[in-house]
Structure 1
């Protein structure tokens, strides 16, 4: 799964146990600009460094897996948890100079002048 949004918050690496570490990333997701969502992703173990080169406000595409698991407390009540586990984060290229360069490339065919009205119409319909 993938979404694109802006980096809102980058968490610190948390050493949960001797053998387990994680790090959170919160992304502003505005599929509908009137209702901005704040989506929390986590990276675990060797992937905690995925968020190292990110800055607040960066436009990113996050590739992630949806994980779910049950947990039963001491009273026997089971609760279910969902996690969005990031496995790749790419900055979105917002540099407009490359787009402008593309627009200035010559066309393969010269433009046709349609401003003169010769009265002849060679269209078949």
Structure 2
């Protein structure tokens, strides 16, 4: 899955006693009702955030993970996490071209004449 939006927050690296590391980023989606989505980057994937800044527009590839936990009162609870594994910075000034192919000349006779002259000059 992928999420797209603007970076609202990037946390520092958290290192736990076991050596496990994680870093979090909050992504503000850009839809009718924008949502702040917390995304975790685990271990070396936290380095993906080094070159990013708050306010950057990005596309993030994510996995959704779930886990089960049993409380001391023997209640079973379920938790979800969103884990990022790739980040692509989007160019804010880039706009898609309105036409995907080059425009055609208005006169087809000009196009035909140009190709007719070149056909005899081909080296093969």
The alignment's TM-score, normalised by the length of structure 2, stands at 0.76
SS of residue matched to 2:58: strand
Q: Paired residue for 1:41?
A: 39
Unaligned runs of 5+ in 2: 108-124
Q: Paired residue for 2:19?
A: 19
1:3 aligns with 2:3: yes
1:107 aligns with 2:99: no
Matched residue count: 107
Structural RMSD (CA): 2.4
The verdict on how the C-alpha distance between 1:75 and 1:30 changes in structure 2, with shifts beyond 3 A counting, is same
Separation of aligned partners in 1, 2:102 and 2:2: 35
Unaligned runs of 5+ in 1: 112-125
The alignment's TM-score, normalised by the length of structure 1, stands at 0.75
Equivalent of residue 76 in structure 1, options 71, 74, 77: 74
Deviations 1:101-122 (A, max 9, x none): x98x9623238xxxxxxxxxxx
Q: Paired residue for 1:118?
A: none
Deviations 1:48-95 (A, max 9, x none): 111111111100001000000011121111111101000001101223
SS of residue matched to 1:46: helix
